[in-house]
């Protein structure tokens, strides 16, 4: 199935945005969006919530590719020539993983989605360790911890939340105030999910650090993250 041609300036960010837009339109009952899904998935349930991976599959098929992976490969070949591939993959994998987290990744998500999200978080962090700074590494550790706690892998989450905090403690001048707030949130979230006796104390410390973030927008994001499930 091919309805349109991949533009020369296509980016994964644009393609992900198209998938999220399709997903939102389907959730709102948009007839044109629902028709696009049925053209690719004739047996899709009309009232069912469209998973992000299904929206991505529809976008891929509309561009004439067998699936999202093939579409991503084509975009990578087109856009990454001559650039630092470690940095390129680090950014794309990071952004894609946060898209999945923001779409509601949880212990109830399909197994494949949970596994792919955790592997992508690890891959992003690996690429940052090759091409980035200690700050990129620390934020990668936070991403792994966030995915792991979302899917219920608490031992994994605990290790990476602790590593994130360790990197910040070792290089305090390199990190921002919101990095410290996020690290504290990750530690508190793992403690809460694990039933640790100091969970309430850790959450209070995370809230204190979030409230103390200097930038208004950064503070808002930290507080929103702190309020998000699962706890």
Task: Supply the DSSP string of 165-197, one letter for each residue.
Answer: HHHHHH-TTTS-HHHHHHHHHHHHHHHHHHT-T
Same domain, 74 and 104: no
Cβ contact 132:52 at 8 Å? no
Residue 155 pLDDT level (bands cut at 50, 70, 90): very high
Q: What is the domain extent for residue 205?
A: 82-231
Same domain, 68 and 86: no
pTM over 0.85: no
Average pLDDT across the chain, whole number: 92
- Residue appearing with tokens 């507080």: 223
Torsion of CA 12, 14, 19, 20, to 10 degrees: 110
Same domain, 120 and 224: yes
CA neighbor of 186 nearest in space, from 126, 120, 231: 231
Which of 44, 79, 114 terminates a domain? The answer is: 79
- 72-96 residue pLDDT tens: 888 877 776 645 778 888 998 999 9
């Amino acid at each position: 199935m091919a309805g349109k041609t991949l533009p020369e300036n296509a980016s994964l960010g644009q393609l992900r945005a198209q998938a999220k837009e399709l997903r939102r339109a389907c959730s709102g009952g948009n007839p044109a969006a629902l028709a696009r899904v049925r053209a690719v998935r004739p047996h899709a349930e009309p009232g069912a919530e469209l998973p992000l991976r299904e929206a991505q599959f529809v976008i891929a098929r509309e561009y004439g590719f067998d699936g999202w992976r093939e579409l991503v490969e084509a975009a990578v070949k087109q856009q990454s020539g001559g650039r630092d591939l470690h940095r390129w993959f680090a950014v794309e994998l990071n952004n894609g993983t946060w898209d999945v987290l923001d779409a509601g990744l949880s212990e109830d998500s399909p197994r494949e989605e949970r596994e792919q999200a955790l592997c992508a978080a690890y891959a992003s962090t690996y690429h940052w360790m090759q091409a980035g700074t200690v700050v990129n590494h620390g934020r990668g550790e936070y991403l792994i911890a966030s995915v792991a706690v979302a899917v219920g892998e608490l031992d994994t989450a605990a290790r990476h939340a602790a590593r994130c905090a360790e990197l910040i403690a070792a290089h305090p001048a390199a990190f921002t105030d919101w990095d410290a707030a996020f690290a504290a949130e990750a530690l508190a979230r793992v403690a809460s999910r694990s039933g640790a006796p100091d969970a309430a104390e850790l959450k209070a410390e995370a809230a204190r650090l979030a409230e103390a973030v200097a930038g208004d927008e950064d503070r808002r994001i930290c507080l929103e993250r702190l309020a998000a499930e699962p706890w």
